[in-house]
Amino acid sequence: MVRPLPTRHPVGYRRDGRAIYPILGASSEDETNDQLDDEESVGQPHQVTVSQERLGKLLTREKQQGERAAIKRLLATLGFDTPKDLTQFVTAQREAEQAALSEIERREQAAAERELQAARREEAAAERERAAMRRAVLVALGAKGDDLTDAERLLAADDEADEAQVTAAAEALRARRPELFGEVRAPVPAAPDGAPAGRGPSRTAPARQPGSAGLEMARRRGLVAAE
């Protein structure tokens, strides 16, 4: 049982005039000691002792309260009532930017595809022009029909060759293969004695009788008189 505190009236005075107050407690663990102040602390601000953990919690709470107040002021400035409204607005803006970026990428891809198709058409047109020019040169030299097709395949000319270079290549082809240009190759005359063309006549050795070789040797040695 805790006794009620006595009144805060001095019970006497010292010779120097200082008041003497009643002393309560007598134990450092008595809770009533926290309710008394020393006479030297009378008239001074009351000091409160707070643990480090408690102080950290108080600072954290004050910081959070300050952050919430700052967020509220920011939301009010931007015209939003709650943080959820701000989040939805930012999300919608990002989705709109992404959609716009996708549209730009789609347009760029379509433009690149159109440029590629145009380049392919130009290349095909250039190839047709080269083929037409070569065909015209071969036709002018007399190639036609299937021979014209064969001549086009055998024509040795670069893709970037001009008309003069194609004409020179076509003339060289006509010299090698005149039959492709309607010309008849002149036959090579046969060699004498019925030898194949381009070869000399064959030598025919005289027929010998049996024993003629030995008889000829005996004549050379003088064993047999020459006839």
* pTM confidence score: 0.36
| Gap between the terminal Cα atoms of the chain | 183
Whether residue 173 contacts residue 156, with contact meaning beta carbons closer than 8 Å, is answered with yes
Q: Higher pLDDT residue, 39 or 104?
A: 104
Q: Is the pLDDT of residue 212 over 80?
A: no
pLDDT at 115: 92
The Cα–Cα gap between 176 and 169 comes to 11
Q: How far apart are CA 78 and CA 81, in angstroms?
A: 9
Alpha helices in the chain (DSSP H): 52-78, 83-140, 145-154, 163-176, 212-221
pLDDT digits 0-9 by tens, 160-200? 888 888 889 888 988 888 888 877 655 555 555 555 555 55
Mean pLDDT of the chain: 75
Per-residue confidence (pLDDT) for residue 101, from 0 to 100: 79
Phi and psi at residue 159, to the nearest 5°: -65, -30
| Residue 121, pLDDT above cutoff 50 | yes
Residue 182: count other Cβ atoms within 10 Å of its Cβ.
13
**pLDDT tens for residues 66-84?**
888 888 888 888 888 888 8
Sign of the Cα torsion 138, 139, 142, 143 reads positive
Condensed to tens digits (0 to 9), the pLDDT of residues 122-141 reads 999 988 988 888 889 888 88
For every residue of 132-170, DSSP letters joined together read HHHHHHHHHTT--HHHHHHHHHH----TT--HHHHHHHH
Asked if pLDDT for residue 110 goes beyond 70, the answer is yes
CA distance 223 to 208: 21
Average pLDDT over residues 92-105: 84
pLDDT at residue 6 in the model: 59
